[in-house]
Amino acid sequence: MRVGVLRTECGDVANVEGKMPKKILFVAASVLGAFLGVLFAFAGLMKLTPQFDPATHEMMVAGFLRYGEIWKVERFGKTSDEFRVYLGALELGCGLLLTLPLLNSLLWPFCQFVVPLLLVVIMAGATYTHYVLKDPVEALIVPPVLGTLLVAILILYTASAAVANGNAPVAATQESSVSSKKRN
């Protein structure tokens, strides 16, 4: 088993053995993805149906009347209610794909990269909407926090893939530390 040392400008950080970093990165991304997937699936359901929480659903319906004005959905021949349904279905679908990526290996790259990226775009739009409407801080802070966590998933999956392909910074730092020792 190959053992290397991950080095930074501050010095040695950690010993790295075999494929362990890939597994750690992959598991961290999967757990975070499952958590956010459940959250987005639930948020999508709240937009789509009053069966789970009628008060929250009514709040969503009223909110989307304001959101539709910001995004001028009528220009596209849609109503605010249709906008709510489309976003709810998109969040529900993306949430399920983010939660259950291991069930379908054919969709795996899609679940790893496209789904979180799509949700980041939705969260950017939600942040803009709440900012323009001057909503309270509680409403304004949630989308950028969720967007940041989705970007973390993208980074973790990308790093996991880089480690698996041997393109990780760990390999580069190992080679550079060996070559610097040869020069000395």
Domain range list for the chain: 32-160
Q: What is the pLDDT of residues 45-103, one digit of tens each?
A: 999 999 999 999 999 999 999 999 999 999 999 999 999 999 999 999 999 988 875 55
DSSP assignment of the chain: --EEEEEETTEEEEEEETTHHHHHHHHHHHHHHHHHHHHHHHHHHHHH-SSS-HHHHHHHHHHHHHHHHHHTGGGGT--HHHHHHHHHHHHHHHHHHHH-GGG-GGGHHIIIIIHHHHHHHHHHHHHHHHHHTT--HHHHHHHHHHHHHHHHHHHHHHHHHHHHHT-SHHHHHHHHHHHHHHH-
Q: What is the pLDDT of residues 105-153, one digit of tens each?
A: 566 777 788 899 999 999 999 999 999 999 999 999 999 999 999 999 9
Give the pLDDT score at 70: 92
pTM above 0.75, yes or no: yes
